[in-house]
A and B are shown apart, each in its own frame.
Chain A
């Protein structure tokens, strides 16, 4: 039994779930999905628990060949289409589960609308958890597929050799992809390391996400912030979303693969409700910040959770795509294309 053969890896895809938040006291980074909301929706579409590991990728997705009997997948995080090469080439919309059969190949059109996308698989991957998680943390070579990004020729094992017999699901309107407005930030823990003027400037500036953005952090470009008390602190804890400002005054937002502790002052922390959206941003995108207090941030997170629950409850049946049913093929495909237009 196997699962997928990686024909072309694309741009360093990794396996990610909700990460390993409980081992930071031993220096182990959390890792996990940059956009946990898209991961949850993708898993719901294929019938998994929300936090099951999926393939996370940026820009160019992998091309995979199915080496088990059948497999159910769903693409989320992007409006780019899933491309299936069977007896002919067919494109299918994202936010819909699709069942593929042995020998068929799937790939994804270039992802230009989002910084990160997910390919979720029914049943997940047959790989060992490290510190309770399948998330890949490349720097220490743990988790995922041998602790690294996927490469051409990898044989990726799945837990199921056959997709379960049931209908496909779709999410009609993934409206959360359109979230806009300033990213909300709680000031601290080292707000006192910055002058009043530079704290004000932080909230008035529009920043651009630099090309140096990866799973560890997102460097921002804009006017430099001024430190009031130097830029070295005795190393303390780091949380996902922390905005640290090194000596050059350019903020860096720390993301899933951030180190557990660090010695640069942190002007503020992006709230957890805005982390998934940040994960979907990409180099060149612009963003600004708005201040919020801790209670407001906790409330925003509860509101977001309600909205996600509502989304997960709104999945609807979708038309199956049956490659071998030549007789129905045209009708079904044209049906799918219409659905795609309605997105």
Chain B
């Protein structure tokens, strides 16, 4: 594996870049370094943001500096190892039917599969949360099988309904609130990934894994009612490899 490079992002952030493309192994190295750096307690760090192929380290230039951070991070890179980290595995119900899945037929056509097969392959394996970004609580998950390597919508939607499950470029996301978006909508979950009034407003974190569980519309609606009554928690378990 290639050595990561340091890229400057002004005087309040530093980028540690492990690669340029979307790659699950690269992303694991990113998240591993994020965890190590958090543990190290290096001074002056404001936030550590793992993304798909790089890490952004936000810092306070009155407390530390780019040179000191580079040194601290280089030290951690010497001790890289390939052990898998523990993670949380979530089971998230998704309805892939009717109004919950406005783009499913188009996606199936583009993938040259029938809609049932698209759903089966989307929900087949637990997917990793590569990064959190775009909006609060918004996860980028992957990698889906190669046949999901389809481009984004030519014309983004002005309004994507909250809790939509979307796919593009071998990744999948959950739109946490109603917002504009350019990915294909193939399902909807009754679960809130971002709920400002909840004691833990944000459901998942980078490094978690999610298994999508297809549920019929009727079950989606009953779970939705339970969620609204604050009477439903999605299942999650701690996995130690």
Contact = CB atoms under 8 A, between A and B. Distances in A.
Interface of A: 21-29, 130-131, 139-142, 147, 186-190, 233-242, 259-262, 266, 268-273, 294-295, 297-298, 300-302, 305
B62 A237 contact: no
Contact of A261 (B12, B49, B179, B194): B49
Contact of B137 (A27, A186, A190, A262): A27
Interface in B46-98: 46-56, 58, 61-62, 65-67
B61 A237 contact: no
A259 B135 contact: yes
A23 B58 CA distance: 11
A239 B9 contact: yes
Nearest to B194: A140
The residue among A141, A188, A233 with the most chain B CB atoms within 10 A of its own CB is: A188
Given A25-B34, A236-B17, 8 more contacts: A186-B10, A188-B7, A234-B52, A237-B51, A260-B133, A269-B8, A298-B61, A301-B11
Nearest to A296: B11
A341 to B, nearest CB: 37
Given A140-B194, A295-B65, A295-B66, A189 B9 contact: yes
B108 interface: no
Nearest to A192: B7
A302 B62 contact: yes
Contacts of B140: 235
Contact of A270 (B8, B10, B51, B137): B10
Contacts of A26: 132, 136-137, 202, 205
A188 B58 CA distance: 15
B65 A27 contact: no
A28 B62 CA distance: 23
A270 B10 CA distance: 6
Contacts of A233: 20
Interface string B185-196: 000000000101
Interface in B196-241: 196, 201-202, 205-206
The residue among B50, B135, B205 with the most chain A CB atoms within 10 A of its own CB is: B135
Given A188-B9, A269-B9, A294-B66, A27 B196 contact: no
A130 B198 CA distance: 11
Contact of B61 (A24, A27, A261, A302): A302
Contact of A236 (B11, B15, B61, B177): B15
A237 B10 contact: no
Given A25-B50, A260-B49, A189 B7 contact: yes
B111 interface: no
A268 B34 CA distance: 24
Main secondary structure of the interface of A (DSSP, over half): mixed
B22 interface: yes
B49 A142 contact: no
A237 B142 CA distance: 18
Contacts of A21: 46-47, 58
Contacts of A273: 11
A24 B9 contact: no
A239 B58 contact: yes
B56 to A, nearest CB: 3
B131 A235 contact: yes
Given A234-B22, A261-B134, A24 B58 contact: yes
The residue among A238, A266, A294, A300 with the most chain B CB atoms within 10 A of its own CB is: A294
Nearest to B46: A21
Contacts of B15: 188-189, 236-237
B21 interface: yes
Contacts of B12: 239-241, 272
B114 to A, nearest CB: 31
A152 to B, nearest CB: 24
A24 B196 contact: no
Contact of B49 (A187, A190, A237): A237
Contacts of A270: 10
A187 B7 CA distance: 9
Contacts of A272: 10-12, 61
Minimum-distance CB pairs A-B, first 8: A237-B56, A261-B133, A269-B10, A297-B11, A189-B7, A239-B13, A27-B132, A188-B8
Contacts of A305: 62
23 contacts: A25-B50, A25-B132, A26-B132, A26-B137, A27-B135, A27-B137, A27-B202, A28-B136, A28-B202, A130-B196, A139-B177, A140-B176, A142-B136, A142-B196, A186-B11, A189-B8, A234-B53, A236-B15, A237-B51, A262-B133, A271-B11, A294-B10, A297-B10
